Amino acid sequence: MGDMEKWPEIEKAETEKRRELVLQGPAIDKRISSNGGLTPSIYDLTLLNYLEVSQCPSLTEVHDDIQHLTNLQSLVLCRNKLTSMPDVFGSLKSLKVLDLSVNHLRALPASISQLGELNTLNVSCNSLEVLPEGLNRCAKLSTINVSKNRITAFPADFCSERLDLLSTLVASDNSIEELSRDIHKLAALKVLDLSNNKLREIPSDLSDCPKLKEINFKGNKLNDKRLEKMVNGCQTKSILDYLRGKGRARQGEDRGEADGGRNADRKTRQQQRKKKERGAEEEEVEDLNRMVVRILHVSEAPAAITVNVSAEVKDVRPYLVCCVVKGMNLMPGNALKRFLTAQTKLHDDLCGKRTIATIATHDVQLLKGPLVYGVKAPTQLKIVPLGRKEMTAVELMRHLQLEADELRKQKKRQNVTGLHKYLQLLQGKPFYPCLVDVEGHVISFPPITNSEKTKIKKTTKELFLEVTSATSLQTCKDIMDALIVKMAELNKFTAEHQEEAGSDEEGVSPQQPVTGKEASSELIVQQVRTVDQDGNLKVVYPSKTDLSIDTSNLTVIW
């Protein structure tokens, strides 16, 4: 197989026996358009283990010959206009990452179910109405993202013990009407997002998922209005406790009905107990909301920092949400360590190891605004990464890739590490996203790192929070919501435990007790507006629809 004239990228990959190939952007799109599709010689590169063809609207189909690329471990075909995929995936036995997001797919090939090594499946932002049967045969699946499609139900065999590694399932913005009671069989599930669907019930069996940490059912019109109120405002633990209580009550009712009239008295007692349990659950929810009232206020007073967003980020990492948080007490004991650990956990779980979104935190006193969120060429982007000396983005990416490779060798792992995953997001891109201060210093390079120059310390009093994503603006807002609620929890914990101040920071005297104002757990969240190059408002966070923690019990300062 060969072309009259090979594309230079293909020729280079062939000559140098390359394992990775990235083709993206207008120049590649123009060639695809004039060629009537991808050049056939791409399918001769059988050594490839990473192939990306993205941001090419002229790409509407892929040839069956892709089955020859049997060494592929990652296939990224996002942001094109694919309407179908060939049903030859059974040949790609080594495939671990499959990204078909932001296309025009109406169905997925059935042979996807033959990908026994598949770890990550992203088919978000398509027009899918169903998922293929047999996905449970992909026993190594860890992350599935099917958000923003037209799916009405999961396959009947989806909730299976065979998917015992599935930790993240994102299926928001679909038309899913029912969640199977077998959901508890997904024993490793940590993150479940079914927001903005058509669910009427949430099965109590969900509370039997042993590792579930983050759930999102916002935007569903549930029959149980109290539960609907909870999912729009409460945290995962409270919702799971409530579902657990409903499950126990249902079991009690079932037993009572089976025993019939002979157990009428017992049934009455069960109903009374059920009423009592509901009362206790209501009280718990109210306690939670009262706790949030004490520690979380929102101020619309304009922050001193504004963020100007350049048009160029649209093709790289378009979504950004920022705010300022005052009153976070990082001085006592392990308060700072707990906060950084919580941020890492959000990165691993809700942010999908930074592949869905990335959080960055800065000390407001070290920021010099206004800030600009824009792009720079990899060789022109210079940053002082956390814990390192100043270097270009090219040098940093090389260092991180070598470290990730070394880590994989040490652990003898075949799977792509978390570090590998988010490095791949920038592979082949001509420009990298960055947040720059008024003096031209890069303070953030998402999703890779932020700058040592604005690093938070125990003495930090005001934090500038930043969440970026290539997925959606709502994703940024949801993760910012989760981060602020977690900060509120941590601040309350710190205030209640009255730890002594640490002595590992310059200027902090040891054995300093936390008293008076320092022991307060109140947080103030200050809005930050992002504007375009003409000064037009793009995003304000938090708006009145953000931080929707049961607003009837939340004091909001507007």
DSSP state string for 40-56: GGGGG-TT-SEEEEES-
The answer to whether residue 413 is domain-embedded is no
Helix/strand number for the chain, H first, E second: 9, 22
Do 276 and 360 belong together in one domain?
no
Q: Which among 256, 279, 294 is the end of a domain? A: 294
The answer to whether residue 326 is domain-embedded is yes
Query: According to the model, what pLDDT value does residue 456 have?
Result: 94
Q: What are phi and psi of 443, to 5 degrees?
A: -100, -10
Give the ranges where 164-322 is alpha helix by DSSP (H).
225-231, 236-259, 264-295
- Residue type present at position 374: G
Do 370 and 243 belong together in one domain?
no
The answer to whether residue 136 is domain-embedded is no
- Residue type present at position 481: D
Q: Which among 268, 294, 320 is the end of a domain? A: 294
The answer to whether residue 91 is domain-embedded is no
Do 287 and 361 belong together in one domain?
no
The answer to whether residue 184 is domain-embedded is no
Q: What CA–CA distance (Å, rounded) separates 74 from 417?
A: 13
Query: According to the model, what pLDDT value does residue 61 have?
Result: 93
End-to-end Cα spacing for the chain: 66
Contact predicate 126/100, CB 8 Å: yes
Query: In the chain, how many domains are there?
Result: 2
- Residue type present at position 121: L
Query: According to the model, what pLDDT value does residue 154 have?
Result: 94
Query: According to the model, what pLDDT value does residue 558 have?
Result: 36
* Environment class of 216 (CB within 10 Å of its CB; exposed 0-12, middle 13-18, buried 19+): buried
At 222-246, the pLDDT tens digits run 998 888 888 887 677 888 888 888 7
495: domain CATH number is 3.50.40.10
The answer to whether residue 209 is domain-embedded is no
Do 236 and 312 belong together in one domain?
no
Residue-range definition of the domain harbouring residue 537:
300-379+431-553
Provide the 10 A C-beta neighbour count for residue 60.
Answer: 15
> Which residue carries 């994989």 as its tokens?
408
Query: According to the model, what pLDDT value does residue 339 have?
Result: 94
Do 252 and 317 belong together in one domain?
no
Do 338 and 308 belong together in one domain?
yes
Q: What CA–CA distance (Å, rounded) separates 431 from 299?
A: 35
Do 308 and 260 belong together in one domain?
no
Query: According to the model, what pLDDT value does residue 238 have?
Result: 83
The answer to whether residue 534 is domain-embedded is yes
Do 438 and 495 belong together in one domain?
yes
Cis peptide before 8 (omega within 30 of 0): no
Query: According to the model, what pLDDT value does residue 419 have?
Result: 55
Cis peptide before 203 (omega within 30 of 0): no
Do 456 and 540 belong together in one domain?
yes
- Residue type present at position 224: D
Query: According to the model, what pLDDT value does residue 242 have?
Result: 87
Q: Beta partners for 144?
A: 121, 169
Do 273 and 318 belong together in one domain?
no
Q: Beta partners for 121?
A: 98, 144
Do 280 and 332 belong together in one domain?
no
Write the DSSP string, 66-102: GGG-TT-SEEE--SS------S-GGG-TT--EEE--S
* Residue among 138, 98, 137, 104 nearest 120 (CA): 98
Q: What are phi and psi of 540, to 5 degrees?
A: -125, 130
pLDDT along the chain (558 residues), means of 10: 69 89 88 91 93 92 94 92 92 92 93 93 94 91 93 92 91 94 92 93 91 90 89 80 75 48 54 56 47 48 74 90 90 91 89 88 90 92 88 88 76 52 76 91 91 92 93 88 87 76 43 44 84 83 68 34
Q: Where are the beta strands (DSSP E) in 482-547?
A: 523-531, 537-541
Provide the 10 A C-beta neighbour count for residue 188.
Answer: 16
Q: What CA–CA distance (Å, rounded) separates 198 from 111?
A: 29
Query: According to the model, what pLDDT value does residue 82 have?
Result: 95
Query: According to the model, what pLDDT value does residue 292 have?
Result: 46
Q: Which among 275, 294, 313 is the end of a domain? A: 294
* Residue among 486, 485, 488, 481 nearest 543 (CA): 481
Contact predicate 173/151, CB 8 Å: no
The answer to whether residue 22 is domain-embedded is no
Do 369 and 242 belong together in one domain?
no
270: Cβ–Cβ under 8 A, 6 or more apart, which residues?
249, 252, 253, 256
Q: What CA–CA distance (Å, rounded) separates 179 from 159?
A: 9
Query: 115 in the Ramachandran plot: left (φ > 0), alpha (ψ -120 to 50) or beta?
Result: beta
Size (the chain), residues: 558
